């Protein structure tokens, strides 16, 4: 079941096209990353997803409810943590949650459950002004989970957290998604965290989604491989570039770094051997999210 479906979404502000005809979907229980540089359109997209601004055109569907035509039912299925959550600092963590629970008609048992889920049992009755940033993020996450949403939207949720706080938050999100069968949409600048957390990721730049790709065993499933190649003879890089399965060639010291179509390494080796080139080294570089980000968003190998 598709929890979120975005079709041909556009947003124009003045004469500037901010979001340019993007489409993607999120399946039930999936953790979906949304990556791009500052100004790429991430925040504008999120503001449309949570109903803060209307798209110029296109459609957003949440659990089958059209966000424009059936706003109330669509938004009932969403929980969100957008950067630093707004909290009453003079109240305790529990009192903050109870205020929200009363408005949403959420039973006390559910409040206790989310407190357990985010690991705040020992500090929930302290005043929020005594909380660390990590604890405030946990409380904000607990608040977003109170209505048991089908879709959790997180916009830069680990901003300002130290490494242990980032790891803790990641594990809490994984636990919440698993226990509740919840889908998660997360926008973040921390590529390593997205790689460790997400099932799929969309790369956006200049309002355009460049690619949507799967992450399997903390590595990217892509259409290309990056090969490191050392040849004993002198060879002009143009010879390698001319091969139809080679996308780009870069000389680094005495080696070549090539982007080639996936699973074409044997064909490359066969070509070199048949043309009497002696291969000293050849290996496939592990493709992490950072490398893929540089290819898609920054336009090449670094």
- pLDDT for 301 equals 46
- In this prediction, residues 152-163 reach a mean pLDDT of 85
Is residue 296 very low, low, confident or very high in pLDDT (cuts 50, 70, 90)?
confident
Region 2-218: CATH code: 3.40.50.300
- What local confidence, expressed as pLDDT, does residue 133 receive? 86
Confidence of residue 157 (pLDDT cuts 50, 70, 90): confident
Pairing type for strands 255-261 and 224-231 reads antiparallel
| pLDDT at 302 (0 to 100) | 44
Token representation of residue 76:
């009932």
Place 59 in a pLDDT band, splitting at 50, 70 and 90. very high
In the predicted structure, residue 68 carries a pLDDT above the cut 90: yes
Query: What does pLDDT average to over the chain?
Result: 89
What is the pLDDT at residue 81?
84
- What is the CATH architecture of 223-286? 2-Layer Sandwich (3.30)
Q: What angle do CA 239, 244, 250 make, to 5 degrees?
A: 50
pLDDT at 221: 64
Q: Would you say the C-alpha torsion 152, 153, 156, 160 has a positive or negative sign?
A: negative
Domain boundaries, the chain: 2-218, 223-286
DSSP readout, 58-91? EEEEETTEETTTSHHHHHHTEEEEESS----TTS
pLDDT score, position 26:
96
Which pTM does this prediction carry? 0.78
* pLDDT tens sequence across 183-215: 999 998 788 888 888 999 999 999 999 989 888
Residues 6+ apart with CB under 8 A from 84: 133, 136, 137, 140, 159, 160
Among 245, 223, 244, 227, which Cα is nearest to 296's?
A: 223
Note whether 31 and 173 are within 8 A (CB).
Answer: yes
Res 18: pLDDT: 94
């Amino acid at each position: 079941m598709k929890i979120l479906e975005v079709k041909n979404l556009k947003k124009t502000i003045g004469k500037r096209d901010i979001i340019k005809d993007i489409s993607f979907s999120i399946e039930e229980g999936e953790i979906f990353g949304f990556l791009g540089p500052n100004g790429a359109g991430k925040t504008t997209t999120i503001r449309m997803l949570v109903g803060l601004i209307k798209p110029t055109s296109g459609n957003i569907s949440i659990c089958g409810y059209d966000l424009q035509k059936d706003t109330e039912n669509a938004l009932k299925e969403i929980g969100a943590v957008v950067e630093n959550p707004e909290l009453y600092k003079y109240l305790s963590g529990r009192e903050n949650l109870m205020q929200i629970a009363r408005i949403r008609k959420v039973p006390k048992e559910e409040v206790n459950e989310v407190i357990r889920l985010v690991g705040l049992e020992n500090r929930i009755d302290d005043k929020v002004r005594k909380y660390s940033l990590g604890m405030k993020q946990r409380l904000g996450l607990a608040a977003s989970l109170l209505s048991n949403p089908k879709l959790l939207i997180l916009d830069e949720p680990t901003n300002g957290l130290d490494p242990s706080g980032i790891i803790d938050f990641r594990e809490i999100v994984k636990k919440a998604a698993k226990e509740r069968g919840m889908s998660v949409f997360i926008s973040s600048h921390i590529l390593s965290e997205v790689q460790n957390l997400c099932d799929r990721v969309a790369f956006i730049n200049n309002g355009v989604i460049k690619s949507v790709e799967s992450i399997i065993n903390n590595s990217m499933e892509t259409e290309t491989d990056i090969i490191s190649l050392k040849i004993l003879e002198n060879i002009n890089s143009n010879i390698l570039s001319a091969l139809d399965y080679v996308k780009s060639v870069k000389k680094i010291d005495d080696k070549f770094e090539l982007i080639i179509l996936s699973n074409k390494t044997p064909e490359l080796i066969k070509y070199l051997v048949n043309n009497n080139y002696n291969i000293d080294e050849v290996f496939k570089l592990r493709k992490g999210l950072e490398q893929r980000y540089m290819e898609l968003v920054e336009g090449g190998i670094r």
